[in-house]
Structure 1
Amino acid sequence: MHTQRDALYAELHSRPFQVISSTARVSYLAVMMNGEQKKQDFQHFIGLYQRYGVVPPAQDSVCLEVSFGDVRIRRESHLEFISYTIINEGAPFLADPFANNGLSCLPKDWVGGMVGTVVSAFHVAIEDARQQPEPELAQVKAYFEGMRLVGSRPQNGDAQVWTTFQVHSDGCGRTLVYNRNMSDSQLGRMVQRLIEIESYRLFALLGLPMARYYNQRLANMDQKLADLTAQLADTKDEIDEQEVLEQIIDMAAWVEAARAKTTFRFSATSAYHDLVLKRLAELKEDEVSGHLTITEFMTRRLTPAVRTCKATSEHLENLSRRIDRVSDMMRTRVEMSIQSQNQHLLASMDRRSKIQLAMQHTVEGLSVAAISYYSIGLLKYLIEAAYDNGAPINKSLAVGITVPLVIGGVWWATRRIHKRFLKLAKE
């Protein structure tokens, strides 16, 4: 058996769908946290166990679920946030379906002591349309404080869903569900899809402010790079290559810093958008006459925002490639300038070598004369010594004969040495 076999099986069941009765109040919180805050949040969650006298889990996991009487709480750990789903199936239900909710049954000080930053917070009120008739549209609109409604009949009309995708006076969103012909399991799956659509679309939109911020600056950076490229292409005069390279380096540094800050957020936006589209397809909506469906609302509002983030990401990538090309062009220009300088330097060195060689030949001629002079002087001493000791020679004639011989010998030896050095240089 593979060592991870049990873990692989358990992964498919780590986030099971909820089973929700047809009359329930659900609250959902998605709180953005870093790694350290997630550890603090787990300890904070354990404190809720201790308040109700329930044995807490020994360690954190991707999904923890606990029941406190009629209240069920599910805590799920995601990549960048922690989500809480609170299901209240036993609280008294008032005329206003949002008067009681899941959060209202939790200790206020515990809710207020949570760490992190809330991104998504909304309530889902579930009513059973099989036992009581659905209210008139005007009454439903009153539940949403008169805001414009988005209507949907998911699961081929087995339920009626109303929402606004807006924040209400309590600081939370609202979704009203009327169960017409769904089992508790089907209702739980549908509510889970609605929760994920509302939550993921907000996380997808987190990249939009960042995209707008960089779009304004990318236009200026584009113009700056275009001007610099035109300057390199049009000018025939000498330019300050050091200054141009500094400008290119500054632009490249800015673009890389922007990419480092936006890559994760834009990638997450695309991933969340894909999840939203998948959940929308799973709803199997029917249209409510006179109202936008959830799918229509999302594709009209969310998709353009996601495309803006994608366009900004592609703009940064294209700008980075353009800067690389301009940088390559500048490096080529600098290399050509260096090669031209090297050619001039080599030509100058060649002229100096020729002058040095001519001087060397002059020195060689003087050296032959000097060496011959001293050699003849030494031979003269030898001839005079032999003549004074009775050698039968003509002293003047002997000295005269040695002069051409010595000069010829010195010249021949010097040429042999010169040729030897030239041969070594060619090797």
Structure 2
Amino acid sequence: MDPASEHPLRYSLVNELHARPSPRLPAPTTAVFVAFKEPLDAANRDRSVDAAHLSELVSRHGGPRPDPDDSHYQGRLGRHDLKWESHTEFVTYMATTPGLPIRPFDPSAAAIFPQAWQEAAPGRRVAAVMVQVDLLPDDPSDALKQAYGWFARDSLAAIWVLDEAALVAGDFRIDADGWMRFAVYVRPGTSEGRIGRLVHRLVELETYRAMSMLGLGRARSLSRRLNELEPRLSAILASMTDEARPAEQMLQDLLSVSIELEAQATQHSFRFGATSAYEAIVYDRISALRETRFQDRQMMTEFMRRRYKPAMRTTKSAEQRLATMLERAARAAELLRTRVDVERSAQNQEIMERMDRRADLQLRLQHTVEGLSVVAISYYAVGLLGYAATPLAKLAGLDKATLVAVLTPFVVLAVWLGMRQIKRRLHGDDHL
């Protein structure tokens, strides 16, 4: 087929489906897993720094160098098989080694990740998991007896998974060396691919649980801030019925609260969205285990329902409370704007009435001035005509007073008609 007819992303998108296969692990084996996250704005971090940190680890153990542009890596580092993945907010490292340490969950099993190297990571460690995979004893109760010596009984979860192909035990606690531990017992004959997928789901479960619970701290800090803002918002809403208080002042107070609420929403929206997404992945990974009860021990779903789900509900509650307060502030602002518009309309109407009265007064004043103007112009016109017509009056035998008396009505009429004509031309109205 002509390559030009292919979508440019077709092959890369298909290859992405196969880019991160689960490891193939024998039994017994030990898996050590760590995840690092930047404290701030991890989604926009410089990923080349993550690649450099990976290269440092690979170079330390003499492994094949990674491609700095790849988002995943698999390689052999001495006795260890290393798997590295770059995610939206974090990077993960999983090293697996055949066999088990002499002492169960010995920290020396994590020597591939030196303490100095971890401290130099571009982010901070959000997950550290150690998984021991062993063969299931003939009597599964013996496995549970071992688990009692490794885990806290009050939070121990022990379950059958994958149609009783394996037994998983863990207490979701962090030991003195900073590791969360899981013990996995598989039935003889279980394929390496199945064991690898099981271990991968367990470490993903812990990673996404840790990432989702980052929203809990944000929710608590947000709740404290909302506790401060809610009385202010309630006071503004209560004062809206007070006609004596200016609406503009209340609108300014409400604007201050709304700006703070919007700032909180902008600051927390990404974390709350990520928390919901990570929570869904956690439950998806638990569902993929297909767990069933082992003896009388609690199941992971029960543990999560009692210990994990309340934290997620707290996060959702804070998010919903913020959204509710934003809606209340928006409705209050709309009501206040309506009140301000009504008050301004009343003020504008009063101003228009005043302008009408002033216009009427000016019109009356104009008519008065026009009358006075006619009189004044007529007075001077009569005087000028009187001087001009005096010689003619003497020839006619009329005295000046009689001449002025005769001229005055005609002059006044002429001036008045002249003023009317000028007014008509100025206003363009033939009916005036």
TM-score by length of 2: 0.89
* Structure 2 residue 194 is the aligned partner of structure 1 residue 194: no
Match of 2:162 among 145, 151, 155: 155
* Structure 2 residue 30 is the aligned partner of structure 1 residue 30: no
* Structure 2 residue 68 is the aligned partner of structure 1 residue 59: yes
Cα contact 1:22–1:126 (8 A) shared by 2: yes
- The alpha carbon displacement at 1:376 in A equals 1.5
The correspondence of residues 111-260 of structure 1 with structure 2, limited to 5 A, is: 111-129=118-136, 135=142, 137-144=144-151, 148-181=155-188, 182-233=190-241, 235=242, 237-260=243-266
* Distance in 1 separating the partners of 2:140 and 2:303: 27
Most deviating of 351-360 and 73-82? 351-360
Equivalent residue letter for 1:187: I
The superposition leaves residues 97-127 of structure 1 with CA deviations (integer Å, 9 ceiling, x where unpaired) of: 3126652234443334323111111100111
Q: 2:417 matched to which residue of 1?
A: 412
Equivalent residue letter for 2:147: V
Match of 2:352 among 328, 334, 346: 346
* Distance in 2 separating the partners of 1:49 and 1:105: 10
* Distance in 1 separating the partners of 2:60 and 2:274: 37
Equivalent residue letter for 1:177: V
Q: 2:3 matched to which residue of 1?
A: none
* Distance in 1 separating the partners of 2:429 and 2:84: 85
Q: Secondary structure at the match of 1:342?
A: helix
Cα contact 1:88–1:101 (8 A) shared by 2: no
Equivalent residue letter for 1:400: A
Equivalent residue letter for 1:222: E
1:415/1:326 Cα in 2 relative to 1: closer, same or farther (>3 Å)? Answer: same
Cα contact 1:256–1:320 (8 A) shared by 2: yes
Most deviating of 294-303 and 404-413? 294-303
Q: Secondary structure at the match of 1:272?
A: helix
* Distance in 2 separating the partners of 1:42 and 1:425: 90
* Distance in 2 separating the partners of 1:425 and 1:71: 107
Identity, in percent, stands at 32
Cα contact 1:101–1:123 (8 A) shared by 2: no
Equivalent residue letter for 1:154: V
Q: 1:9 matched to which residue of 2?
A: 14
TM-score by length of 1: 0.90
Cα contact 2:64–2:75 (8 A) shared by 1: no
* Distance in 1 separating the partners of 2:91 and 2:274: 16
CA RMSD, Structure 1 to Structure 2 (Å): 2.5
* Distance in 2 separating the partners of 1:128 and 1:425: 114
Q: Secondary structure at the match of 2:313?
A: helix
Q: 1:304 matched to which residue of 2?
A: 310
Structure 2's unaligned 5+ residue stretches are 1-5
1:213/1:190 Cα in 2 relative to 1: closer, same or farther (>3 Å)? Answer: same
The superposition leaves residues 373-426 of structure 1 with CA deviations (integer Å, 9 ceiling, x where unpaired) of: 1112222233235567xx667464554332111101111222333345455699
Q: Secondary structure at the match of 1:105?
A: coil
* Structure 2 residue 333 is the aligned partner of structure 1 residue 332: no
1:269/1:167 Cα in 2 relative to 1: closer, same or farther (>3 Å)? Answer: same
- The alpha carbon displacement at 1:175 in A equals 0.3
Equivalent residue letter for 1:143: W
- The alpha carbon displacement at 1:305 in A equals 1.7
* Distance in 2 separating the partners of 1:229 and 1:369: 66
* Distance in 1 separating the partners of 2:270 and 2:429: 65
Equivalent residue letter for 1:87: T
1:381/1:222 Cα in 2 relative to 1: closer, same or farther (>3 Å)? Answer: same
- The alpha carbon displacement at 1:133 in A equals 7.5
Q: 1:70 matched to which residue of 2?
A: 79
Structure 1's unaligned 5+ residue stretches are none
* Distance in 2 separating the partners of 1:217 and 1:336: 34
Q: Where does structure 1 differ by over 6 angstroms across 4 or more consecutive aligned residues?
A: 130-134
* Distance in 2 separating the partners of 1:262 and 1:190: 34
Equivalent residue letter for 1:401: V
* Distance in 2 separating the partners of 1:100 and 1:260: 42
| Total equivalences in the alignment | 420
Match of 1:274 among 275, 280, 299: 280
1:154/1:297 Cα in 2 relative to 1: closer, same or farther (>3 Å)? Answer: same
Match of 1:284 among 271, 286, 290: 290
Cα contact 1:38–1:82 (8 A) shared by 2: no
1:44/1:112 Cα in 2 relative to 1: closer, same or farther (>3 Å)? Answer: same
Most deviating of 42-51 and 18-27? 42-51
